[in-house]
């Protein structure tokens, strides 16, 4: 039992170390893959279900396509992070002095 929990915790540690961000090109690729897989499995499922005259086979094939698409798209795979955005460097204050505009609040 300890071996199973050890492997489970090592898998969780590996998942936590992964970068969960996608870039814009990766999002576009994920959406295309999702659409292609769902459409392909839907067409194949409808044709196969029509040939054997069993609607449940159509549903099973479409569900298998959905599961495959979810595995391919929902995880932040490395091929979705090939085009990172060039971020600007953050401004760091050079001193602790703050500039004031010289105007003070008026009393009413």
Q: What string of pLDDT tens digits covers the 108 residues of the chain?
A: 677 788 888 888 877 776 667 788 888 999 999 999 999 999 999 999 999 999 999 999 999 999 999 999 988 788 888 887 777 788 877 655 555 555 555 565
Report the phi/psi class of residue 102: left, alpha or beta, with left for phi > 0 and alpha for psi in -120 to 50: left
The full set of domain ranges for the chain reads 2-80
> Distance between alpha carbon 48 and the CA centroid of its chain, in Å?
31
pTM of the predicted structure, to 2 decimals: 0.62
Residue 74 structure tokens: 């929902």
Please give the Cα distance from 25 to 31 (Å, whole number).
10
């Amino acid at each position: 039992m300890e071996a199973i929990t050890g492997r489970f915790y090592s898998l969780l540690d590996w998942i936590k170390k992964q970068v969960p961000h996608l870039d814009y090109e990766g999002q576009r690729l994920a959406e295309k893959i999702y659409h292609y897989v769902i459409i392909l499995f839907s067409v194949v499922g409808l044709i196969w279900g029509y040939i054997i005259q069993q609607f449940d086979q159509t549903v099973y094939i479409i569900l298998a396509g959905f599961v495959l698409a979810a595995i391919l798209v929902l995880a932040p795979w490395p091929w979705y992070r090939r085009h990172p955005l060039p971020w600007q460097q953050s401004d760091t204050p050079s001193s602790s002095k703050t500039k004031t505009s010289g105007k003070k609040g008026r009393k009413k």
